Amino acid sequence: MLICSRLDRWRDVKFRLVTSSAVEALLEVVSGSRGLLLENLDLYVADIEPSQGKRLGQLLSLSFPNLRRFTFHANRHVVPLAGSLRLHQLTHILIDCPIPLDECIGLLQKCTMGIEVTMGKICAATAPTPIPSTLTALPELKCLSFKSKCSDFCTILLSFICPNLRTLAITPDFEHAGENPGFLETFLTQSVCQLDEFRLYTDWGIPEHSFTPYLRVPRLQMVKRLFLRCYNTSDTTIALLTARENRVLLPRLKSITLATCLSSDGVVPQMIDSRRLPCSKKEDRQVAQLESFLVYYHRPGFGTALGEGKAPTLGREFLWYHQRDVARYKDFIAEGMDVKYDGI
């Protein structure tokens, strides 16, 4: 705790606390500190009591009045800690602990200066949570990310107006309410924002037909960067992303990342080819020139037959399963395209 005793000297501090007694020791140090220079605090707590969380939040707010960036990881629900901070002055917030949906909305409503906000492990609300009649504006927000484990997760987005949002990353609860992406269209419409990047994540076992409707959301069609970490991404998804004369989804894409892919050999390069044309035809095309592509392959059946966490990994063996893919990737690279590929 010697370093902690001189918190007045630091702008950027990280704490890793594994016991409640360590939290208590930090409380003692912070109670006598005045860190006017501190702007960035990263706090990981493995074990903390709710009463400690509230006290710590209040002390952090008093001791570090100029805090702008706050990162918090915990294994249990300690939202009172974050709720006690001066959320209205924070620009970058990452809270990774179980958060009931209603409390998550309450926290976000206070983040009026937030530029980048991440909320992880959102769980069921402690009380009925209707969409408020008056929506909260988050005018500075440019990047929003959340992971939900509750059926009414769409209430989060529908409670806000984010006119300057550029990046949205979501992990919906597909098992209960994730297959209908209509809420996303409503949110983007009420925010009157234009996303540059959309990131979609799914958990194990979510079928492909559950997440592909998100690729058809009208107000997502102008995104420039797409990131999919959907464990059953296969030929159906690749076919949707393939540009055709009479149908083009997401025509402005310049970057595609498929963090998990189960496609057949030769299918992905056809999709890339459909989004690349010789320079002489660029002026006439309806599709932006794809500039970068990243893919990680899985062996077919990954994550299903043997259960979560026990499936065989593919590693560099994907070279054998995807020989045509790899041959074309090398051609793309030789032509100057940014292409990266690997197996997991």
For 167-176, write each residue's pLDDT tens digit: 999 998 776 6
pLDDT of residue 321: 82
pLDDT of residue 278: 59
**Residue 213 domain boundaries:** 203-344
pTM, two decimals, is 0.89
Considering the domain boundaries, does residue 271 fall inside one?
yes
| Gyration radius of the chain's alpha carbons | 23
The mean per-residue pLDDT over the stretch 207-221 comes to 93
pLDDT by residue (tens digit) across 256-265? 999 989 999 9
The pLDDT of 264-283, averaged and rounded, is 81
Average pLDDT value over all residues in the chain:
85
Query: What confidence category does residue 5 fall into, taking pLDDT thresholds of 50, 70 and 90?
Result: low
| Residue 302 confidence (pLDDT) above 60 | no
The answer to whether residue 315 sits within a structural domain is yes
Residue 246 lies in a domain: yes
pLDDT of residue 315: 54
Q: Has residue 149 been placed in a domain?
A: no
Q: Is residue 77 part of a domain?
A: no
Q: How many domains are contained in the chain?
A: 1
In a domain, 190, yes or no: no
Report the pLDDT value the prediction gives residue 31, as an integer from 0 to 100: 79
For the stretch 320-342, pLDDT in tens is 788 999 999 999 999 999 999 98
